[in-house]
Structure formats: structure tokens, C-alpha cells
Amino acid sequence: MTNGHDVLGDLAVVLCVAAVTTVVFQRLRQPVVLGYVLAGILAGPQMPISLVSDTASIHTLSELGVTLLMFSLGLEFSVRKLLRVGLRAAVTVAVEVGTMLWLGFNAGRLLGWSVKESLLAGGLVAISSTMIVARELGEHPVESRLKSLVLGVLVFEDLAAIVLLTLFTAMGHGLDPTTDRVLDTLGRMGLFLGVVVVLGMLLVPRLVRALLALKRAETLLVAAVGLCFLMALVARELGYSVALGAFLAGSLVAESGGGQRVEKLVEPLRDLFGAVFFVSVGMLVEPGTAMENLGAVALLAAVVVGGKLVGVTLGSFLTGHGVATSLQAGLTLGQIGEFSFIIATLGQSAGMAGRQLFPVAVTVSVLTTFLTPWLIRAARPFAAAVDRRLPRPVQTFVTLYGSWLDRLGATSTTRTTAVRRLLGLLAADVALVITVVVGTSVLLTRLLAQLAGAAGVPQVVAQVVILASALLLSLPAFWGLVTVSRRLAEHLSRTALPSGERSVDMALAPRRVLVLSLQLVILVVAGIPVLAVTQPFLPPFGGAPVLVVPVVALAVLWWRSTRSLEGHVKAGAMAILDALGQAATVSALAPDLSKVEELLPGCGTMVSVRLGAGAPGVGQTLGTLNVRGLTGATVVAIQRGHGGMTPTAQDVLREGDVLALIGTDEAVAAAQHLLADPA
């Protein structure tokens, strides 16, 4: 049994080795996180001479790093902010986690792993590392909207991780992870979050404000950290992760208005135990086993980086975050970490996986951690390059899509009886598809025996009959998914872009694009989780064509409709130029474009900005500024003197130019700051 002196000695060794390796890595201009991991490898039990006598105590201390880090993240992400981005982040995570589960399972099958091992592979590649991402975002600051998106995704990933852990635990104990068990888990989780948020909003901000009034840093620090660990303990005792409890504690403290002050006090503790966490990860690396399974490591690492890029980007873009922000989020989240270790440990301890799973998971985590800083650095130029190369109609759609979703979110009619009824029908079709696929797979052997044995039907014929019958049973559900998604998309589109009282429907072109876009969103958001759930009962990659065919057909129609949208926006640009020309003869101020916005629904928020002396945009081309890539807004018209023009990327901006911007409220505000606000 180890004593306090052993723990103190181990901690001293860990921190000293970490200090040396991080100094070296800073000199080499390499990520500090990698220095911590290397320190763990050097001090760990895999070396000929182990410098640490009790690695379990170091792993225990590393949990403090995760807890304090999540608390610090919560301090920057208040409950109100979380609720504001909640739906979009939840949809993004549904697409991303579903994609990763599907890819991870198929990767496991390609490696020759069993069904249970492949399920665990899907789980361990699905959840990004909060610890690593937060650390890198601290070293490589990003725009606030990207940070909010990434943090929102991480929080909902943690909720998804709890569900996955519950299902894997049930499988490890030989239990059937039924729908009732999943719904029960989700219900208890929702109750826990609701109680914590309601009671916390009533008590915690008032308590923190009272502590702030004392003006004693020591008291504030002790109370804040105490609250952090109390919430983490409550979450753990109820079967949830300590990270979730700590994050909620930080969010509640942020509601007091003193989040920044508390964050500065907690920062040294967070950095110290964060270093211990990464050292503990390095201690888990088994170089010999990892080399034996190098092919599995390479394949799963590629699945993590590539799958996260596709899943996060797709989910983020579908929820209106724009191409550049979505791509940056996808690259930022391209790693796995602490939750993957938990999944792998659970699989091995329950006898669901062989001894190779854990070292493979740790090695993939280390490899993707190594890549993360470079991915984050490359994210912005990569996203800008992709955005610039998009076809013009797609660029126009990207600019306006977010504003349509903002208008849809601002209306109360999205919660009407009609919407709830259509969502219920959609859920019923999804449940029917899953039931038919899973039921057919489970009962296939028994049905074959009855047809081939009792009825004397040849086995090949019996199998064809059973599969054809299953297909016929599922066709109404598949057709229902397509038709109900269309009806729901049309209803939501008319809510966001009503036709108005004019004889000519000015919103027709943008509404047509929005209908197809929302139908694609609904099919993807419903279809990808269905693929993830049913894939274990199908041949490798077997269910993908069923989703791909309708999505591709809708994408072709969507591409054609974007050309009509481009014409709509060009007509809007001419109207804006006319308004700018009339205003130039009356006033030197930037004109109000609200009347033009009323005449051209679907063109988003329209704002004009005049470039004064010293404006950062003066003397630069629109291509160099990359306004759309950096902000999401688009310059559709320029008034120069008494003349106007539609802009190109080569146009050089001059002092006195009046620029017309379209996009979401947030995008045009960011563009105004980029173009006109003096540094």
C-alpha cells in the first residue's frame, strides 16, 4: 500500500520531467501538450526503469485537471448562452456522432474485429477530447463564434458520451440495451440538468455576487473551487461525468457576472493539474502493443481526423454556421481523448474486447493530439481557400442560409401543433425503419429454418423471400421519411419567408431553396443516426446507399434552385444600388436599407457602411479582405461618388465608398467592424 510520501515523490518526478520536456518543446516551437505526453512516456511503467511507483495516484490527480478545465470552460459559457446555441449544437452533434459511430464500426469490421469490439471502436472515435481542445484554444485563440460553436459541440458530445457509456455498460453486463433503457437514461439526464439549472440559477449567482462584494480573492477562490468539485461529485454519484458537473458549475458562476475574475484565480490550478492529466495519458502508452497494431492505429486515426472533419462540418453547416466556421470547427475537433480511454477500459474489463483495444485507443489519442495544433493552425487558411473556390450560387446561398434559420428561430410558429404532428410522424417512420431492419436481422436465422425446414423451401429462395418481405415492409416508412420531411420543410419555410400580401411572391426563389435545404437537413439529421443504429445488423457499409440516393437527388434539385436564388440576389443588388444612388444626392451618411429589405425578402439583413478616413478596408481589395470567409456577410453593391457597381474580388476599396452588406445580424456586424472600425 502506498503512503503520502510515495504520492509526493511521484508527483515531484512527474512535474520535474514535465517541466524539462515542456521547456525543450517550447524551444523547438512544438506543442506543449506533446511535451507533457512525452514526460508521461519517459516516467511511465513501460520504460526499463519506471520513475513512478504508483501510477494510479497520478491518474487520480489527473481527474482534477479535467474537472478544473471544464469549470474554466463553463466560466466562459453561461447557461443563457448554452441554451441559445443548444438546439444547433445538439443537431450538429447528432450528425457528427452518428457519422463517427458508423465509420468507427465499419473500420473495426474491416480490421477483423468482432461486432462488440467494432461497437466500442465506434464509441471511442466519436467523442473529442475536451481537455486537449480547451488547451489548444488557450494557446491558439480563435474567433468568439467559432469558440462558442466548438464548446457547444463539446458539451453535447459529453451528454452523448453518457448515453453511449450507459449502453456499453449494459452490453458488458450481458443486458439488452433496449429502447426503454435508452429513453429512461435520456429522461433521467434531462431531469438532472433541469433541476441543476433551475436551482443553480436561483442560488449560485447570488452567492457568487455576495462573495465578490467581500473583495477577498482567497475566499472567492476557495468557494468557487469548492462549488466546482461539489457539482462534479453530485454528477458522478448520479452516474454522469465529473466533467459535466464541473462545466455546469462554471456556467452558473458565469451568470453572476464575475466569471472572468474567478477564471483568473482558477487558471494556475487548472494549468498545474492539466499538466498532470497529459502526463498520465503518456503513462498509458504501450509502444510494443501499438507497433503490433500499427494498421489499426493508422486507420482509426484517419477515421478520427477525416470523420470529424466531415461530420462536424456537415452538422455545423446544416445548422447555419457557414462554410468557413464549420470547416474550422471540424478540424479543431479532430482528436479523441479521455472518454475514449474510459470506453476502452470498460470494454476490456467486461471481456468485450481483446487486449489490443486500450493501447490502440491511447496511441490514436496521442497521434491525433500531435496533429491537433497543426490542424487548428491550418484551419483558417484552409477554410478561406475552400470558401473562395465555391461556385458563386453556393456562395450566395451560404450568405443567406444563416439569416433564414435566424428568422425561423425567432418565430414561435416553429412550436405549433402542425410542426409537432409532423415531427411525430417523422419519429414513427424512423422507429419503423429501425424495427424492420433490426427485427429482420435478429429473426433471420429462425425464419430461414422455418421456411427451409418446415415448408421445404430452398435456403437461397427463403432468404430472398424474407429480405424482399422486409424491404416491402420498410418501403412505406422510407417513403414517409421523404414526404413528411418535405411537408415539414415547406411549413417551416413559409414561416421563415412568408409570401406577404403582394400579388407577386417576392420570396418565391429563396423559399424554394430553403424548402430543399431544410428537407436535406431533416433527412440527414434523421438518417445518419438510423445508419449508426442499424449498421451492426447490416453488411459493411450496407445501409449507406439507402440514404445517399434521396440525398443526392435532392442535392441536384437544390443546385438548380440556387441559380434562381442568384438571380434574385442580383435583382436585389440593383435595387440596393438605386437606393444608394438616391441617398447619395441627399446625405453623406450611409443610407438605411430597411425599405429595400422589405421589398426583397430572403436577402437577409441589409446594412450599408461608409468607409471613412483610416478605415481598415480602405486601399485593400475585397479578395484580400475575404469579408465573407471571415464574417459570413457579403458585399453586394458599392456606391462610389454618384455611381454604383456590383463588386468583384479585384475591386480596391476607397475612402468615401458606401458598401451594402447582406447576411445574418451577427455577420453584418462583424463585417462592419472588419471594414470600417479604426484599429
- Which parts of 32-178 fold into alpha helices (H)? 32-43, 55-75, 79-110, 115-124, 130-139, 144-172
Per-residue pLDDT band at 170 (split at 50, 70, 90): low
C-alpha neighbours within 13 Å on the C-beta side of residue 551: 14
pLDDT of residue 301: 93
> Per-residue pLDDT averaged across 171-183, rounded?
56
Which is higher by pLDDT, 15 or 679?
Answer: 15
* pLDDT above 60 (res 433): yes
Q: Grid coordinates standing for 68?
A: 478544473
SS (H, E, C) 221-244: HHHHHHHHHHHHHHHHHCCCCHHH
pLDDT of residue 10: 75
Element spanning 629, H or E: helix 627-631
Which is higher by pLDDT, 199 or 542?
Answer: 199
Nearest to 128, CA basis, from 107, 158, 104: 158
User: 572-676, what's its fold?
Assistant: Alpha-Beta Plaits (3.30.70)
Distances in Å between the Cα of 508 and the Cα atoms of 322, 408, 564, 616 are 23, 16, 10, 38
pLDDT of residue 299: 94
pTM comes to 0.79
pLDDT of residue 103: 93
CA distance 498 to 417: 19
Nearest to 627, CA basis, from 605, 647, 645: 647
> Per-residue pLDDT averaged across 103-128, rounded?
90
Cell 465573407 sits on residue? 628
C-alpha neighbours within 13 Å on the C-beta side of residue 398: 26
* Separation of CA 361 from chain center: 21
Which is higher by pLDDT, 333 or 507?
Answer: 333
* pLDDT above 80 (res 441): no
pLDDT of residue 97: 92
Q: Grid coordinates standing for 357?
A: 483495444
Rg (CA), the chain: 28
SS (H, E, C) 235-285: HHHCCCCHHHHHHHHHHHHHCCCCHHHHHHHHHHHHHHHHHHHHHHHHHCC
What is the DSSP pairing of strand 634-640 with strand 643-645? antiparallel
Give the tens place of pLDDT for each residue, 313-355. 999 988 888 888 899 999 999 988 777 877 787 777 767 777 7
Which residues, 6 or more positions from 207, have their beta carbon under 8 angstroms from its beta carbon? 223, 256
* pLDDT above 90 (res 305): yes
Per-residue pLDDT band at 300 (split at 50, 70, 90): very high
**Region for 215 from its dihedrals, namely left if φ exceeds 0, alpha if ψ lies in -120 to 50, beta otherwise:** left
Which residues, 6 or more positions from 14, have their beta carbon under 8 angstroms from its beta carbon? 39, 40, 43, 52, 58, 276, 279
Q: Grid coordinates standing for 205?
A: 449567482
Give the tens place of pLDDT for each residue, 200-239. 888 888 888 888 888 888 888 888 888 888 888 888 787 7
CB-based contact 129:153 (threshold 8 Å): no
pLDDT of residue 13: 79
Q: Grid coordinates standing for 590?
A: 450611409
DSSP 3-state of 22:
helix
What angle do helix axes 508-534 and 294-318 make, rounded to 10 degrees?
A: 150
Question: Of the ranges 165-169, 411-415, 532-536, 573-577, which one carries the lowest mean pLDDT score?
Answer: 411-415
Give the tens place of pLDDT for each residue, 622-678. 888 888 877 888 888 887 877 777 788 788 888 888 888 888 888 888 888 888 765
Distances in Å between the Cα of 290 and the Cα atoms of 28, 356, 364, 555 are 26, 8, 9, 42
Give the tens place of pLDDT for each residue, 609-636. 888 887 888 888 888 888 887 788 888 8
pLDDT of residue 114: 87
Element spanning 305, H or E: helix 294-318
> Per-residue pLDDT averaged across 229-250, rounded?
80
What is the DSSP pairing of strand 634-640 with strand 605-610? unpaired
CB-based contact 657:640 (threshold 8 Å): yes
DSSP 650: T
CA distance 548 to 544: 6
What rounded mean pLDDT belongs to the chain? 79
* pLDDT above 90 (res 102): yes
Which residues, 6 or more positions from 187, have their beta carbon under 8 angstroms from its beta carbon? none
Which is higher by pLDDT, 559 or 65?
Answer: 559
> Per-residue pLDDT averaged across 164-186, rounded?
62
Neighbours of 27 (CB within 10 A): 8
Question: Of the ranges 279-293, 449-463, 545-559, which one carries the lowest mean pLDDT score?
Answer: 449-463
> Per-residue pLDDT averaged across 34-60, rounded?
73
Q: What is the CATH number of domain 4-46+54-385?
A: 1.20.1530.20
Q: Grid coordinates standing for 544?
A: 449507406
* Separation of CA 270 from chain center: 24
pLDDT of residue 1: 46
For 224-263, letters b (16+ CB in 10 Å) and e give bbebbbebbebbbeeebbbbbbbbbbbbbbbbbebbebbb
CB-based contact 35:25 (threshold 8 Å): yes
